[in-house]
Amino acid sequence: MLRDHLTNLSILIILIGMLQLSCGKKKFDMLTLDDSLPKPVLTGSTLNLKIKISRYEVNALINDIVSKTFQEGFTYEDGFKIITRQHGTIDLQATGQELQIQLPLYVEITPSGIFKQFQVSGAINIILASKFDIFQGTLISKTEIKQHQWTKKPVVNVMGIKLPIEGIGNFIIKKYKQTICKSIDESITKNIRLSELSKTVHNNFIQPVYSSEDKLIHVFANPTELAVGPMNINGEYLEIPVIFNFESVLSDSIPHDFGGSCNFSIQPFFENASLINIQSRIPVTYIENKIRQQVINQTYGSGVTKIKVNEIFLKAAGKIMQLELVTEGSYKGELLMQFIPEFNESNRKIELNQFQLKAKKGGSLNKIVFTLVKGIAESRIKNSIEDQLNLTLKEFEINTIQLMNQKNWYPGVMLQGELIQYNLKNMQYYNDRLYFNLEARLSIEVHVTKISRDKLVLYKF
């Protein structure tokens, strides 16, 4: 019995000793760096742009195409030649994927052979309807003459006498309307070459769309699809909804897999709001240098708690960031700070949570000094790091708002929009880079008041 009591007593003493040891260590029990998290996934973005183009500019462009297409006229296999030119104001309508153009034309029809002196002339309003689709990377246009009306009856000049021949004019229009429509479709197909447009789009995105003030961190975009939604006429504007799908990263260099082909499509639906996902891939060394600029050679506290930071070293993996500080003053040695960066949606700021501090190398800290040092580290050094991270985030917000409210984004092009909200998700460290998804919801419109003609190659037939 005595042996059993002594055995139980010895076990109790061992347990109490272990408990005391564990309680003593708890103050300095640092989280270990965990790099077992999977590689972050790149999420695509959808930018929905409602492009409003001045009807005056569209009509002027159509007039250019009509002039280039018909300026030399059409000569058919049976010898007839038809020459047209604009004879009034062009009117444009749009519904879904169909454009309707009321085209007032002056028409001259010249027969061949011995009848070539019998030239027919008149003025006519033609309503053309063009439907669009994309097949195997090519824009397909299907145009038909919906109706026509003579505003100046066609006449033939026979020995100085003008004879009305509306019936013959209608017969000629009916006979050759398919040829006319085919010529228009060929003109549209050749003027809008999607393969060339794809190259142009990617060339425009070789350079970053945004750069930090120090020009070391950039936003790169990779266009993957450009789609057109249902068109509409609203007042003095032709509204063309454009759906732009792309990938984007915030990094020091453009990813090697950016720069593939950009697909094109026609979409039956359109949403006003856009969802942008920018994946951060900021090098840890960049963050370390930014923190170093804020912390190195800074003195914190006073008297017995005065600490000067001589050097810092940053390590990060998984969700955890560790900062090693080489200090002098009330503590000469190395301090190890550890925290988990998290985004607070309510104040739109990055906060360093689960903060811990311990002495890594040097003399031990007594409880009073340690408490004071920890208070300085949390209130001053930690805040300096948070301020630097949030400064970069605030830069994004300010620059996005400024970008969307530029009066002249491009000559003749104005950008207007609203940043509805943004959020940071899935913050983690992977391969010595800080990853997170910057998710932003915005509404944006593009107003086009002038179409640059030098960007178009107008073919004639």
Contact between 295 and 312 (Cβ < 8 Å) = yes
Question: In the prediction, which pLDDT does 260 show?
Answer: 75
Q: 146 in helix, strand or coil?
A: strand
Question: In the prediction, which pLDDT does 252 show?
Answer: 92
CA angle 144, 146, 150 (to 5 degrees): 120
Question: In the prediction, which pLDDT does 245 show?
Answer: 92
Which residues in the chain show pLDDT less than 50?
1-29, 457-461
Q: 3 in helix, strand or coil?
A: helix
Question: In the prediction, which pLDDT does 75 show?
Answer: 60
Question: In the prediction, which pLDDT does 6 show?
Answer: 33
Helical (H) or strand (E) element with 188: helix 166-191
Adjacent-strand bridge partners of 231: 96
Write down the H helix ranges in 247-381: 284-295, 367-376
CATH 3.15.20.10 domain extents, the chain:
72-192
Q: From CA 63, how far away is CA 453, in angstroms rounded?
A: 12
Q: At what angle do helices 284-295 and 382-404 cross, to 10 degrees?
A: 110
Contact between 165 and 150 (Cβ < 8 Å) = no
The correct answer on CATH 3.30.70.2740 for the domain covering 72-192 is no
Nearest to 427 by CA among 281, 315, 292, 324: 281
Question: In the prediction, which pLDDT does 78 show?
Answer: 61
Question: In the prediction, which pLDDT does 277 show?
Answer: 92
Question: In the prediction, which pLDDT does 247 show?
Answer: 93
